[in-house]
Amino acid sequence: MLKHRRPPRAQFEQARSSPQYGTSALHTELKLSSTTAQKKASIANHHLAQAQSWILQLSIIVRIVSIFLLVLVSQLQQAFDTSHNLLSYSLDPNLLHSLSSGGFQFLLSFVRWDTIYFVSSAAPTSQLHKGGYVWEQALAFQPGIIALLRLAGFVTPSMDGEWSPTSSMLLTTLLSNLATMLSPILLFRLGWTITRNKELSFTAAILSIFAPSAGTTLASPTPESFFSFASLMGLVTLESKTASTKGRLSWGKIVGFYPPA
């Protein structure tokens, strides 16, 4: 006699109703759900990293073009205010630093407006130039940028302790432009952290790159670029969710080397 076989459908229903099947199916669903969430998070992080890459590339291009045009126009057209030339002669009367005449004369293109007072106050007292807060016009400025110019002037190839106006202007200008290039990324990360709107954050960061004063003021050693960078860094730090239990932050994530949380 042939044995009575249970229909496949009945076997499936019996297996499905068993506790073992329920546990296995639950694990499978949780695993699939976790895998899907990880894929979505990976795609989102890739898009955010791509947006940050575009912002950084555009910021670098704008900085290079702005610096090139500023130096070019300064060489082709005489400045309305020639105070920077007078300052260079008082800081480098013997042409020892190639500032008043030489290979680094192009740095005078970045000495405009208030930067004249910054560099003048940062320079130590010499025979032809009296450094520090000598003139009443300089009393309106805080000592932060002046202190930075003073310290940067002692970073020379020989490191002999002599202050160099060329090193002061060159290093501070590089730091100023570096801060300007990174500020749009911080603005993007701050906008994303608060609004979770990539389009809005991206648009705000792009517009900040093309700020009306970005071509000149933010290319010179002025407080604006450092203030912008420090303010955005502080706000991103406050809003960041990457702090550990010890209160430390992942600075790579804050500045933009990693996708935001």
What's the pLDDT tens digit per position in 87-137?
A: 766 676 565 656 666 677 778 777 777 787 888 788 776 545 566 777 776
Residue 230 pLDDT? 93
Question: Please, what is the average pLDDT of the chain?
Answer: 74
Residue 3 pLDDT? 52
d(C-alpha 100, C-alpha 156), whole Å = 17
Residue 203 pLDDT? 94
Residue 181 pLDDT? 92
Residue 117 pLDDT? 80
Of the pLDDT bands very low, low, confident and very high (cuts 50, 70, 90), residue 231 is: very high
**pLDDT above 70 as % of the chain:** 60
Count Cα atoms within 13 angstroms, Cβ side, for 10. Answer: 4
- Lookup: tokens for 106: 């192009």
Q: What is the DSSP string of 206-255?
A: HHHHT-TTTTTGGGSS-HHHHHHHHHHHHHHHHH-S---TTS---HHHHH
Helices and strands in the chain: count of H runs, count of E runs = 9, 0
Residue 209's Cα: distance from chain center in Å?
A: 11
> pTM of the entire structure?
0.73
d(C-alpha 249, C-alpha 251), whole Å = 6
Of the pLDDT bands very low, low, confident and very high (cuts 50, 70, 90), residue 146 is: confident
The winner for highest mean pLDDT among 42-51, 78-87, 149-158, 193-202 is 193-202
45-82: per-residue pLDDT in tens?
777 888 999 999 999 999 999 889 888 887 787 766 66
d(C-alpha 98, C-alpha 105), whole Å = 7
Of the pLDDT bands very low, low, confident and very high (cuts 50, 70, 90), residue 204 is: very high
18-43: per-residue pLDDT in tens?
555 455 655 665 665 666 656 665 66
Amino acid at the residue 226:
F
Parse the chain into domains and list their residue ranges: 47-240
